[in-house]
């Protein structure tokens, strides 16, 4: 731990930092973490390009946040449940979700996409901070079911901490000792609002006011993010209640593809963070410690190229959903009102076919 309280296990130069609280995990799959980070960055790069080509309506980039997401995502066990906001594509990857399921949302050809329970990964939430309450409620459910070896993690941004929902979630999780880990990716910006417009104190310190532990971790250090999240999840599973993790990172790209960050932040700040790149430090570490050579790195790059190709092709050929499918995703069961609406909408769609036929006949 440094004097600022930042937990770091790998420096930006790729050197291991000894930390007695988080001893070196010999079993840690660092090469696997590197692979995951490279692949999710490729998903992101392709998605931005697809949006620029008019193939996606929007994309929320994870650039710069790969370590926070892969480190924490890999700390989850298959039984744990994750609640994302909208840029946790790296966590989605760790949960085994096909990236095309994410792209179909941003292409607007899905009525909901994946099954949350199947992947133990809830749907993306655009309403800032809401998912912290969903996650806390879910964690309280686990507790009441006396489920064993299960915990919940919820992702949100620095801006979200100013939402009342997040404070309410902290209060409920605390007093009910809910098995939930609050994972705040402090990427310094809430669209154009800087972090100093959200809080006068470091965000992880908020937790103490609610009565549970808070830690600040180097969010660009995948080893530290993994170790800290693993510990917090285990504490939750063992009945020790919630933890707030503040992963201190930086949003290297725009807020979304509709944003132009050059209007509100300095290029020199971005350059400083470029030197702290989460992938480069792992690459340096693996190379310097002799755990990986150029053949390994070339194989990962080739895999990324293949993935990129699959995403480009897959995105362009995603089928449009049938209009009536919309009604299948409203409730788990049937409802008389919905059945009536479905019937009327079907008749409306049919009226176009009749008009088309009449026009064709008139033309003959
Ligand atoms: C309740 C609510 N208020 C406002 C918005 C508009 N909005 C979308 S993203 C965003 C900023 C979120 O910033 P942060 O929580 O730091 O997450 P980041 O996007 O940086 O990951 C805002 C205000 C919204 N989606 N929901």
The predicted-structure confidence for 157-171, as pLDDT tens digits, reads as follows 999 999 999 999 999
Q: Is the CB of 191 under 6 A from ligand 1?
A: yes
CB 291 within 8 A of CB 30: yes
Distance CA 257, CA 250 (A): 17
pLDDT of residue 353: 85
Q: How far is the CA of 257 from the centre of ligand 1 (A)?
A: 14
DSSP state of 329: G
pLDDT of residue 328: 87
How many CB atoms sit inside 10 A of residue 364's CB? 4
Q: Is the CB of 62 under 6 A from ligand 1?
A: no
Closest residue (by CA) to atom 13 of ligand 1? Answer: 190
Total-model pTM = 0.95
Distance CA 311, CA 107 (A): 13
Distance CA 210, CA 177 (A): 11
Q: Is the CB of 190 under 6 A from ligand 1?
A: yes
CB 190 within 8 A of CB 198: yes
Closest residue (by CA) to atom 18 of ligand 1? Answer: 157
pLDDT range class, residue 90, cuts 50, 70, 90: very high
State which ligand 1 atom lies nearest to the alpha carbon of 65: 21
Strand partners, 186: 248
Q: Is the CB of 247 under 6 A from ligand 1?
A: no
How many CB atoms sit inside 10 A of residue 240's CB? 14
Q: Is the CB of 122 under 6 A from ligand 1?
A: no
- Token pair recorded at residue 245: 């993790």
Distance CA 230, CA 241 (A): 14
pLDDT at 359 over 70: yes
Distance CA 192, CA 258 (A): 12
CB 250 within 8 A of CB 187: yes
Q: Is the CB of 128 under 6 A from ligand 1?
A: yes
Write the CA distances from 22 to 10, 17, 214, 227, 284, integer angstroms.
Answer: 12, 10, 16, 7, 21
Q: Is the CB of 63 under 6 A from ligand 1?
A: no
Query: Mean pLDDT over residues 308-334, rounded?
Result: 93
Distance CA 127, CA 143 (A): 26
Q: How far is the CA of 359 from the centre of ligand 1 (A)?
A: 48
Exposed, middle or buried: residue 183 (CB in 10 Å: 0-12, 13-18, 19+)? buried
Strand 152-157 relative to strand 180-186, pairing: parallel
Who wins on pLDDT, 180 or 112? 180
Strand 214-218 relative to strand 6-7, pairing: parallel
pLDDT of residue 242: 98
Q: Is the CB of 58 under 6 A from ligand 1?
A: no
**Predicted confidence (pLDDT) per residue in 259-303, tens digit:** 999 999 999 999 999 999 999 999 999 999 999 999 999 999 999
Q: Which fold has domain 6-316?
A: Rossmann fold (3.40.50)
Write the CA distances from 351 to 344, 354, 357, 360, integer angstroms.
Answer: 11, 5, 10, 14
The dihedral formed by the CA atoms of 45, 47, 50 and 56, expressed in degrees to the nearest 10: -160
3-state secondary structure 10-78: ECCCCCECCCCCCCCCCCCCHHHHHHHHHHHHHHHHHHHHHHHCCCCCCCCCCCCCHHHHHHHHCCCCC
Q: Is the CB of 87 under 6 A from ligand 1?
A: yes
Distance CA 256, CA 258 (A): 5
Task: Write down the mean pLDDT value for the chain.
Answer: 95
Q: Is the CB of 193 under 6 A from ligand 1?
A: no
State which ligand 1 atom lies nearest to the alpha carbon of 255: 19
Query: Mean pLDDT over residues 222-238, rounded?
Result: 98
Name the E strands within the chain.
Answer: 6-7, 81-83, 152-157, 180-186, 189-190, 193-194, 214-218, 243-248
Pocket test for ligand 1, best of 90, 127, 128 (most atoms within 8 A of CB): 128
Query: Mean pLDDT over residues 7-35, rounded?
Result: 94
Distance CA 243, CA 258 (A): 34
pLDDT of residue 4: 59
pLDDT range class, residue 2, cuts 50, 70, 90: very low
Query: Mean pLDDT over residues 298-326, rounded?
Result: 96
Q: How far is the CA of 107 from the centre of ligand 1 (A)?
A: 20
Pocket test for ligand 1, best of 156, 169, 191, 250 (most atoms within 8 A of CB): 191
CB 114 within 8 A of CB 123: yes
Angle, helices 30-52/222-237, rounded to nearest 10 degrees: 100
State which ligand 1 atom lies nearest to the alpha carbon of 163: 1
Q: Is the CB of 195 under 6 A from ligand 1?
A: no
């Amino acid at each position: 731990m440094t004097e600022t309280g930042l937990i770091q296990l790998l420096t930006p130069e790729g050197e291991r930092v000894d930390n007695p609280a988080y001893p070196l995990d010999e079993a840690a799959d660092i090469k696997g973490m590197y692979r995951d980070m490279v692949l999710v960055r490729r998903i992101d790069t392709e998605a931005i390009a697809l949006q620029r080509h008019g193939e996606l309506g929007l994309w929320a980039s994870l650039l710069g946040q790969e370590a926070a997401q892969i480190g924490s995502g890999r700390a989850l066990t298959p039984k744990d449940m994750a609640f994302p906001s909208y840029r946790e594509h790296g966590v989605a990857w760790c949960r085994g979700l096909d990236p095309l399921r994410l792209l179909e949302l941003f292409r607007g050809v899905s009525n909901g996409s994946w099954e949350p329970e199947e992947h133990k990964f809830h749907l993306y939430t655009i309403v800032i901070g809401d998912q912290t309450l969903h996650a806390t409620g879910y964690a309280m459910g686990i507790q009441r079911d006396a489920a064993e070896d299960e915990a919940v993690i919820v992702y949100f941004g620095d801006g979200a901490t100013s939402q009342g929902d997040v404070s309410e979630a902290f209060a409920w999780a605390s007093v009910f000792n809910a098995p939930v880990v609050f994972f705040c990716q402090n990427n310094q910006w809430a669209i154009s609002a800087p972090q100093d417009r959200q809080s006068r104190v470091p965000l992880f310190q908020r937790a103490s006011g609610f009565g549970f532990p808070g830690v600040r971790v180097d969010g660009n250090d995948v080893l530290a993010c993994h170790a800290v999240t693993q510990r917090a999840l285990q504490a939750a599973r063992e009945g020790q209640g919630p933890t707030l993790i503040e992963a201190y990172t930086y949003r290297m790209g725009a807020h979304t593809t509709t944003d132009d960050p050059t209007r509100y932040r300095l290029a020199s700040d971005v350059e400083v963070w470029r030197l702290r790149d989460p992938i480069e430090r792992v690459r340096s570490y693996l190379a310097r410690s002799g755990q990986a050579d150029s053949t390994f790195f070339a194989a990962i790059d080739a895999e990324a190229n293949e993935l990129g190709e699959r995403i480009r092709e897959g995105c362009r050929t995603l089928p449009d959903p049938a209009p009536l499918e919309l009604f299948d995703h409203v409730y788990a069961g049937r409802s008389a009102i919905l059945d009536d609406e479905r019937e009327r909408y079907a008749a409306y769609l049919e009226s176009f076919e009749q008009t088309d036929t009449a026009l064709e006949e008139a033309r003959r």
